[in-house]
Chain A
Amino acid sequence: MSTKEYFLPRSAGEAVQLLAEHGPSLLILAGGTIAMPLINEGVSFPERVMGLRHAGLSGIGQDGGTFTIGACTTISQVLAWDAIPTLQQAAHNVAGWSIRNMATVGGNLFAPPPAGDLAVMLLALDADVKLANSTSERIVPLKDFYTGFMITALEPGELVTEIRVRKPAGETVYTKFGRKKANTPSVVTVAAHLMLDGDTVKDARIALGAVGPHPFRSTKAESALVGSALGEETIARAATLAAEECEPIADAIASEWYRRKMVSVILSRALAQLLN
């Protein structure tokens, strides 16, 4: 192992200070479930690493009507928190028990597809991400946080410190479709939030995972839904548009063709759960 220094900052302030001192070569480890496999395998051999387990970034609080989820809150902590049941459901679908005890909400934002399922639900909930550097903080919507495959809006010297989410005002639904029932990589993950007035869709957020360079909102499916009556026809139109809009990855789990087919099947089934 070639790592020369391993820092364990005791506060978020200390963490961003270390980041400012060492620059982008400092590898950041929260739960370790993404970076450690690469280090163990010798694919990545960082000289300097910063672990965030003791940086005081864990825990769920409230800021007015907004829930604040510390970036290092584990998936198990989210699973134990019952304010938003579909977020709990999403947490339960992440990996197995031991990994959920380690992996963090902030780290999940950096998991390349087909991983990163929790973020799909967070997108449908219109979550925000708080970023901090050694001098200031800013809040960006999660949908603008992702800018490309393993690229985010994070500037050099910035750290994700918090995920901010409000209690959903409308109906939410979440489906992760994989090859197995539990601990499975995603073929496609679907999360939706709909505001309904009777049958009419007033507002829609449709988020997809494992079928693009990062979790994303299907704006075409959303516009097909808004203003229409939620029925089989509307759902079929939205599902077709989502399948057209996505850019599925291909891997050992599923081909691009299969993932695209499943986008429309799984999104249709998910939205059908919201039919009266």
Chain B
Amino acid sequence: MASTIVSFTLNGREVEVIAKPLVTLQTVLREQLGYTATKSGCKKGGCGSCTVLLNGDPVMSCLLPVADIAGQEVVTLEGITPVDGLHPIQTTFYEKFAIQCGFCTPGMILVAKALLDRNPHPSAEEIADALSGNYCRCTGYTPIVRAVQHAAQQMATD
């Protein structure tokens, strides 16, 4: 079977791609569309660096055939970043030293956003639970949890 045409919403905009059988959303985002905030880490669903939001829920784009999500809504880190600045979660990650090498950061921020969309005032334990599928080999996680808590406060007062 030849490739198929798949259309979906990416960061609020309709996109149409030519997809080989079983090609993943991760490959399409990075190699066809140039959206490289979505990282390619373990490609086994184990590290969380490829996390995107699918209809608002975090999923691993490395395990997701793009054909499965025809007509659905995908948000990547590019999609939550304002044109002239940063999302509050991005700002607090920067301010609270929650970034070192940065490879896990896009996944961490998207999961944090999905959590805060559902639970605007999560406890440290709830944040750790939400982020448990995302690995960071630099920070030791404490600054990340702190950054998400701080972002929650910022977003509540804004």
Contacts and interface: CB of A to CB of B under 8 A. Distances in A.
A53 interface: yes
A102 B44 contact: no
A1 B63 contact: no
A3 to B, nearest CB: 4
Contact of A98 (B1, B43, B51, B68): B51
A40 B62 contact: yes
B65 interface: yes
B76 interface: no
From B43, B51, B68, B134, name the one whose CB has the most chain A CB atoms within 10 angstroms. B68
A156 interface: no
A99 B45 contact: yes
From B24, B111, B129, B133, name the one whose CB has the most chain A CB atoms within 10 angstroms. B133
B65 A29 contact: yes
Contacts of B23: 1
Q: How large is the interface on B (under 10, 10 to 19, 20 to 34, 35 or more residues)?
A: 20 to 34
Interface string A1-37: 1011110100000000000000000000101110011
Q: Is the interface of B mostly helix, strand, loop or mixed?
A: mixed
B84 to A, nearest CB: 30
B67 A51 contact: yes
Contacts of B129: 97, 182
Interface string B31-75: 000000000000111101001001001111011110110000000
B22 interface: yes
Q: How large is the interface on A (under 10, 10 to 19, 20 to 34, 35 or more residues)?
A: 20 to 34
A131 B22 CA distance: 26
A6 B21 contact: yes
B63 A101 contact: no
A272 to B, nearest CB: 25
Given A37-B45, A97-B132, A102 B64 contact: yes
Interface in B58-114: 58-60, 62-65, 67-68, 111, 114
A41 interface: yes
Nearest to B20: A1
A32 B58 contact: no
A51 B133 CA distance: 24
A97 B134 CA distance: 9
Contacts of A1: 20-23
A33 B45 contact: yes
B67 to A, nearest CB: 6
Contact of A3 (B22, B45, B111): B22
B43 A37 contact: yes
B10 interface: no
A240 interface: no
B22 A96 contact: no
Given A40-B43, A95-B133, A97-B132, A6 B57 contact: no
B63 A37 contact: yes
B132 A102 contact: no
B128 interface: yes
A109 B18 CA distance: 34
B130 interface: yes
A102 B62 CA distance: 12
Given A3-B21, A32-B65, 12 more contacts: A33-B60, A36-B24, A36-B64, A36-B65, A40-B62, A41-B44, A51-B65, A51-B67, A76-B57, A96-B133, A98-B58, A98-B134
The 5 A-B residue pairs with the shortest CB-CB distance, nearest first, are: A96-B133, A37-B44, A182-B132, A6-B21, A183-B132
7 contacts: A40-B43, A51-B68, A96-B132, A97-B111, A97-B133, A98-B51, A182-B129
